[in-house]
Amino acid sequence: MMVLSSARISRILFCIAFIVMFPMGAHAAVCKTWQGWENFKTRFISEGGRVIDPSTAALATTSEGQSYALLFALIANDRAQFVKILEWTENNLAEGDLTARLPAWLWGRRDNGSWGVMDANAASDADLWIAYALAEAGRLWMVPKYTALAQLIADRVLREETLVVQGLGRVLLPGPVGFRPEPGVVRLNPSYLPIQLLRRFAELFPHPDWKLLLRTSVEVLHRSAPQGFAPDWVIYRSDTGFQLDAESKGEGGYNAIRVYLWAGMLAPGEAERSKLLNRFLAMARQVEVTGVPPLMVASREGTASGVGPAGFSGALLPFLAAIRRPDAVRQQRIRLDARMPQDRSDNYYDQVLTLFGLGWIDGHFRFESNGTLSPRWTCAEN
């Protein structure tokens, strides 16, 4: 009689969980190579580990792109690529030392033809994803230096990119500079607030401010979308509360699409999942009626306009699956297949959104209720 080890039993149970969680054929490729990641690497990542957006004149690299690539490499169990991406990020965006500074958000070809940092301000969403990817890499690959670096970056995020605002609490600023137009007023980006990351940090790191930030972030997501549509940007005033952001006119588009993506990927056991999914049901109804994601939504009025690109369909897949709209999931997946052929190579953001959406719905990864990452390779033989 064959006796199964506890490790083998755990791996079997993990795979069974994926079969239950992703019933629409998602389990068919369990424990196989993530081809989407392989395609992304070929199209967008240089030999040295730089994520390039070829649609920009500067052939730009952002800290956001580097952060997502770190996560994707971890999901794919691609240690060699993870190391390259991390080293490039540290050497070029953080002056060679991520323990001492947050990475600059924009790097590329300057007007004078030279290459380097084009804007030294940091972007807090990228900083969160970098810290998260490092923390989970440290846990999954058992690399203590990644865990230590994750905590240093997370601590710096709290010091340099959060602020206590009267009437709301501790909020995540989009970056260290430029988002406090006047005393008692902050400009916030709801798509910078993936709750699964904040949940993980609140458990992993000892500073109590992570729990405060988690609670406030849920309120920002909920209260900034009164009609059920997330805005790209929102203003909060201590005396009057949430207000229309004049610069973006309260519209929700290329930034806000990630709000639905992050919410859709929340674990069933996440305490805030139902609250957030229910808040954004208006987006699901819009997609079901029209058959396409809107390009832009006036978040205060709840009116939609334009047709979103293929990547928006990819981003909405987890959200539509989470609220049990299987027909809408199939519809958006068919649209994605029709609008984004495999040889397309110039639309970095569409490809990122699609890699997240398809990667999740095809079962390559999931987030647990405590925020930890569960990549599918953990059920493969080692």
Q: How confident is the model at residue 33 (pLDDT cuts 50, 70, 90)?
A: confident
For residues 177-192, average pLDDT? 96
String of DSSP letters for 72-104: HHHHTT-HHHHHHHHHHHHHHHSTT-TTTSPPP
Give the mean model confidence (pLDDT) for residues 32-57: 93
pLDDT at 25 over 70: no
Kindly give, in sequence order, each residue whose CB lies less than 8 Å from that of residue 212, ignoring residues fewer than 6 positions away. 169, 170
**Is 125 annotated in the active site?**
yes
pLDDT score at 346: 79
- Collapsing DSSP to helix, strand or coil, 273 comes out as helix
Q: What pLDDT is recorded for position 13?
A: 42
Task: Give the tens place of pLDDT for each residue, 252-311.
Answer: 999 999 999 999 999 999 999 999 999 999 999 999 999 999 999 999 999 999 999 999
Q: Which of 246, 253, 257 is nearest to 298 (CA)?
A: 253
* Backbone angles phi and psi of 351, in degrees to 5: -70, -35
- The model's pLDDT over 80-99, given as tens digits with 9 standing for 90+, comes to 999 999 999 999 999 999 99
> What pLDDT, on a 0 to 100 scale, did the predictor assign at position 31?
54
Report whether 60 contacts 108 (CB < 8 A). yes
Q: Is residue 18 pLDDT above 80, yes or no? A: no
- In order of their start, the domains of the chain are 21-363 (1.50.10.10)
Q: Is 238 helix (H, G, I), strand (E, B) or coil?
A: coil
pLDDT of residue 4: 46
Instruction: Write down the pLDDT at residue 5.
Output: 44
Q: Is 290 exposed, middle or buried (0-12, 13-18, 19+ CB in 10 A)?
A: exposed
Contacts 24+ apart (CB under 8 A), 86-90: 86/49, 86/134, 87/49, 88/46, 88/48, 88/49, 88/50, 89/49, 89/63, 89/130
230 with 220: CB under 8 angstroms?
no
Q: Which helix (H) or strand (E) holds 298?
A: strand 296-298
Which residue among 78, 90, 125, 161 is the active-site one? 125
pLDDT of residue 381: 42
Residue in 64, 90, 127, 209 annotated catalytic: 64
